[in-house]
A and B are shown apart, each in its own frame.
Chain A
Amino acid sequence: MTVSNHNWRKFKNAFMQTLTFVCAILVVLPLVLVFYHLVKEGFSALNWNFFTKLPKAVGEHGGGMVNAIAGTFILLLQAAIFGVPIGVLGGVYLSEYGGSKLNWWIRFAADILNGVPSITWGVVVYGLLVVPMHGPSALAGGIVLGMMMIPLVMRTTEEVLQLVPGGYREAAMALGIAKWKTTVQIVIRTALKGIVTGVLLALSRVAGETAPLIFTAFGNLGWAHKLTEPIAAMPLLIFNYAISPYDDWHRQAWAGAFVLLMLVLAINVGVRFLTRDRFKQKA
C-alpha cells in the first residue's frame, strides 16, 4: 500500500466526518434560530396585560390574550380526557393482547391517520359535530385535538410496552398473577415513563395545531362561557394576528408564539420531573 493511497483515504474519512457534522448542525440550527427569534421578538412584547386582558379591537393599543391562553388549556384538557385513555388502552391492546393480523391492520390505520393533514381532521369534525350542533364550539375543538392524539399516543404506547422485556411478563405470570394485573401492575408500570412521554409529545404536538381549530373551535375575541360556544386558542389568535397588517398585532403574535413555546416546554419538563425514576439516584 502506497503512502499517497493512505493520505487519500485519510482525506475521505475527514471529509465524510465533516459532512455528517455539518448536517447534524443543520438539523439543530432551525431550532436555535426559531428560539432566538421568538425570545428576541416575543419576550419584549410580553407584559402583564398580555396575561390578564382580553384582545382589543383594531386600532386600539394594548390588550392581551388571556382568553386564548385559557382556551388552549381547556382545549388541551378536553383533548387529553378524550384522547389519552383511548390511545393508551389501544396501545396496550396492540402490545399485550390482539392477534397479529388484526394488529397489522390497526397499526396500518394508525400510521395512515398520523399522516393525515391536520386540516382534514378539522373538516371531519366539522361534518361530525359542528354541522349537527349548528355552530363551532369548544367541544368540537377539544374532540378534534383528541382525535389527532389517539393514533400518536397509541403507537408510542405500543412501542414502549414492547420495550419491556418479556421476562417480566413471564415472571409475573409464573407467580400466578392474572394477565390483566400483570399488564397493569408490571408491564405498564415499568413503561410508565415512556407512556407519559408519548402522551406529552402528542399533547405538545396538538397544542400548536391551528388548521383543525379553524373549523371547530373557531376562535373568540371574548370568553367562551360554555363548551358549546366557540372558544379562543393561542394558535388561532397568533395566526389571525400574524396575517394582519398591524404592527401592534404582530407584536402580540410574537408574544403569543413565545408563550406557546414556553407552555409546551413547561409541560414537558414538569411531567418529566413528576415521573422521574424513583430509584434513579440510588441505582
Chain B
Amino acid sequence: MPATPNPATAATGLNFPAGTALTARGLSVHFGRNKVLKEVSIDIAAKAVTAIIGPSGCGKSTFLRALNRMHELNPDARMEGDIRLFGDDIYARGVEPVIVRRRVGMVFQKSNPFPTMSIAENVTVGLRLNGLRDKKLLAERIEQSLQMAALWDEVKDRLNAPAISLSGGQQQRLCIARALAVQPEVLLMDEPASALDPLATQKIEDLIVHLKKDYTIVIVTHNMQQAARSSDYTAFFYLGELIEFGPTAKIFTNPSQKRTEDYVTGRFG
C-alpha cells in the first residue's frame, strides 16, 4: 500500500506516491441523446490499482473505455472534456486512437484469445501486427509477458497449442499477457474476473496486486470484496456521476457520501 494520502482532498488532488498517470477533467460521454457520463474529473495514481465501482449502468465501463478511446468504436459516441496520460492530451488533434491504445491496454470481461492462434501467437499478436519481426525479441516477450501474467509455468511446454484449449482462467491470464506484451503504461480491466470461478478469480487478483509494481491499473468491478482486497483507490460512480473517490480503505470504512455508504454496505445496487 502506498502512504495514506490526505483523506480531506477531493476527487482530484490526492497525493499519489508514484505520481499521476491519468487526469480526466470535465469528462462527459454521450451515446446519441443519452448522456452516460457527466462531467467526471478524477486523477488516476501511477503504479497503483484504482477500482471503479457502482451499480450497472452507472457509466463505469464507459469511463474506462474513454481512457483508451475504445468508446469511439461505437459510432454514436461523443466525448467532451480532457484526458491526459502522463501529461499528453490523448484526444489532441492528430493523436491516433491506435497509438493511445498501445499506451493504454485493456482486458475485457469475457476472455477473448484469438481462436485461430496458438498461445504464443496470441501473446505476440499485438507486436507482430504492428510490424515487429525479430524472432528473438518475440520469443523474449512471450516468456516475459507470460511470466508477468503468472501463466508461464502452466503453458511453457505447449506454447504452440491452441489458445482456446486453455481453461477459462488461463485464457483470461493469456489475455492479460497479450495486453502486457505491447508494453503499455496503463492497463484497463473491465470486470476481468466476473466470469471466473473463485480460484481463478483469486489468481487474477493476486496478479493485479503483483502487476502494480510496474503498471498503472484501473479495474471496473461489481465485486465489492474484490475492490476492497486488491485496490489502493476506489471511485464510486452512480448514474454517470463520480460520487466519491479516495483511498480504498476510506471508501469502504468511512465514506463521506451517504450514497457511497449505502452502496458499499449493500443497501442498493
21 contacts between A and B (CB under 8 A): A167-B110, A168-B114, A171-B114, A171-B178, A173-B73, A173-B101, A174-B70, A174-B101, A174-B108, A175-B102, A175-B129, A176-B101, A176-B130, A177-B125, A177-B130, A178-B98, A185-B125, A185-B129, A189-B114, A279-B162, A283-B165
A175 lies within 8 A of B114 (CB): no
Looking at A174, A177, A282, the one whose CB has the most chain B CB atoms below 10 A away is A174
Of the residues A175, A190, A278, contact of B126 by C-beta under 8 Å: A175
Of the residues A174, A186, A278, contact of B114 by C-beta under 8 Å: A186
B54 close to chain A: CB less than 8 A: no
A181 close to chain B: CB less than 8 A: yes
Of the residues A174, A178, A278, A282, contact of B106 by C-beta under 8 Å: A174
A170 lies within 8 A of B178 (CB): no
Which residue from chain B places its CB closest to the CB of A176 in the assembled complex? B102
A165 close to chain B: CB less than 8 A: yes
Which residue from chain B places its CB closest to the CB of A174 in the assembled complex? B106
Contacts of B10 in A (CB 8 A): none
Per-residue A-contact encoding for B108-126, CB less than 8 Å = 1, 0 else? 1010101110000000011
B36 close to chain A: CB less than 8 A: no
Per-residue B-contact encoding for A255-283, CB less than 8 Å = 1, 0 else? 00000000000000000000000110011
Given A170-B108, A171-B112, A171-B175 in contact, is the A177-B126 Cβ separation under 8 Å? yes
Contacts of B70 in A (CB 8 A): 170, 173-174
How many angstroms between the C-alpha atoms of A47 and B84 in the bound complex? 78
Q: What's the least CB distance linking B74 to chain A, in Å?
A: 11
Which residue from chain B places its CB closest to the CB of A184 in the assembled complex? B129
Looking at B103, B116, B165, B182, the one whose CB has the most chain A CB atoms below 10 A away is B116
Contacts of A278 in B (CB 8 A): 116, 162
A 158-192 contacts with B by CB, 8 A: 165, 167-178, 181-182, 185-186, 189-190, 192
B126 lies within 8 A of A282 (CB): no
- The tally of residues in B whose CB lies under 8 Å from a CB in A reads 29
Which residue from chain B places its CB closest to the CB of A191 in the assembled complex? B116
A176 lies within 8 A of B165 (CB): no
Closest 6 CB pairs of A and B: A176-B102, A175-B126, A279-B162, A174-B106, A167-B112, A176-B101
**A-B CB pair tally, cutoff 8 Å:** 81
A279 lies within 8 A of B164 (CB): yes
Q: What's the least CB distance linking B209 to chain A, in Å?
A: 22
B105 lies within 8 A of A175 (CB): yes
B105 lies within 8 A of A174 (CB): yes
Of the residues A170, A178, A283, contact of B112 by C-beta under 8 Å: A170
Contacts of B100 in A (CB 8 A): 176
Contacts of A165 in B (CB 8 A): 112
B248 close to chain A: CB less than 8 A: no
How many angstroms between the C-alpha atoms of A174 and B165 in the bound complex? 23
Looking at B112, B126, B175, the one whose CB has the most chain A CB atoms below 10 A away is B112
A170 lies within 8 A of B116 (CB): no
B116 lies within 8 A of A171 (CB): no
Q: What's the least CB distance linking B13 to chain A, in Å?
A: 30
Additional pairs, 18, CB under 8 Å, beyond known A176-B98, A176-B130? A167-B108, A167-B110, A167-B112, A169-B73, A170-B73, A171-B108, A174-B70, A174-B106, A175-B178, A176-B126, A177-B126, A182-B129, A185-B125, A189-B116, A190-B115, A279-B115, A279-B165, A282-B162
How many angstroms between the C-alpha atoms of A174 and B70 in the bound complex? 7
B108 lies within 8 A of A176 (CB): no
Given A174-B101, A174-B105, A176-B101 in contact, is the A282-B130 Cβ separation under 8 Å? no
B 152-174 contacts with A by CB, 8 A: 161-162, 164-165
B199 close to chain A: CB less than 8 A: no
Contacts of A167 in B (CB 8 A): 108, 110, 112
Q: What's the least CB distance linking A139 to chain B, in Å?
A: 37
B 70-113 contacts with A by CB, 8 A: 70, 73, 98-103, 105-106, 108, 110, 112
B218 close to chain A: CB less than 8 A: no
Q: What's the least CB distance linking A211 to chain B, in Å?
A: 40
